Structure 1
């Protein structure tokens, strides 16, 4: 892992190389458009600093095409650069379907990562190269910001909300990760390691790290422990929505709106059940705010997502 101060951090993904290329192109374009202006200012200041008599009897000849070109050419070049950068940025919000999903919780002052097969890490993140990875992130306290310089990626992590960041590392190595948002007295110590491995090494690491249960299995235990199955289980007598096949479906609400049952909707339904009430159901869902930790909520979300997968196989 490189030192804390890096003038040009190493690149661990094709996205990082594209970002560097955009930055270099913008720097070159800025220099090409601005340098002639400053050079001519200096040249004219030197040449005409004593003044010079000018014949103003006749208007100066104008070259319309020259005047148009020095407005149109810079506009076209900067607009093309804008399109390029916008396409690159928008790709951050379109993760592919076959991602490896890792849950992330930021808290003062550490990063907690949990893999779908149950392995947990603190201030370290192991990922395989050549496979898209999606981080579902939230915060337990204040605003944090996960920054991985080698990927050229940074994303704010907010309390009470899930945010997504996805990437595909392609260069094995150990790189730095940090919090890029001032989050308290020990903010500067909220750092860690991003470890990109070959698929074989990553599989070996998963085996060595060990885990008895996946996130979904742990979520199922919590589902029963906190009595969720009493209302949402298949044998429940209470009039409550069935969770089988819920994830990814559109849900009509009492207010007349229709929302997508994604990670955020499920989280809010657990912690803020009165905010979005499903149409046709009574207001009897209790809140689990200040009862469940963000880690536990992520496990419950993973379990409910697994119910949708099982329903699809039937």
Structure 2
């Protein structure tokens, strides 16, 4: 029996489509054309003898075979990166991912002082699900906001952030002192791509998909639409650090805060990972201040 000849580049394409739940979004992320991406995935499906995705109106959904293949695909990519690093004799390093609005510079600076020989890198996750780059070994730690799928991870809670309503100062409701979830239930809000259900429900105030939700291509798109007065957004104050100067943040009452955490792969015994966790736990107030501090 001939074993499938798996191309790591195509495996990476498969993982990207699975994570972003759509061929168009994945093609943009990978900087390839959508027809070319579709052909590559069809070739992988032929190689495996299984359909990996169902094409649906909202994008692409993993079939049972695709869902079973995904963790192993991530493992293949992780093993390849480990092998390349070992062959190159690369010095020990650490890559830290972070979610929108969170400033991890204080911890990275402290870790560079403690471990001057190590290469400490950072990478912006955008709206990616935090567990995915961790489990794929693209990063060694992430600083992100719960909720997200944490199976296979060790998670340390750092600090809390309130949730607020972001809107243009010219919005008819912008003079309100506060809102409740019921007050804004019918207002158009963003519908970010690729969020897992728990996160979408949390930021959607109890509804995984609101009838008034507006599809967004990315975080910049959200702030542009807020600035135009087209939508309001449920965010934490640090989310809004890159919002336009005419965006106001109004308290949202009756909802629990967002929890900012550091997460690493469960059982990771890297001394650098342990040092980063220690730094993050010891510097929670500095992290919270840094993430809030650039927005008045």
- TM-score bracket, normalised by the shorter chain, equals under 0.3
For CA contacts below 8 A with separation 6 or more, give which structure has more relative contact order: 2
Q: TM-score, normalised to structure 1's length?
A: 0.24
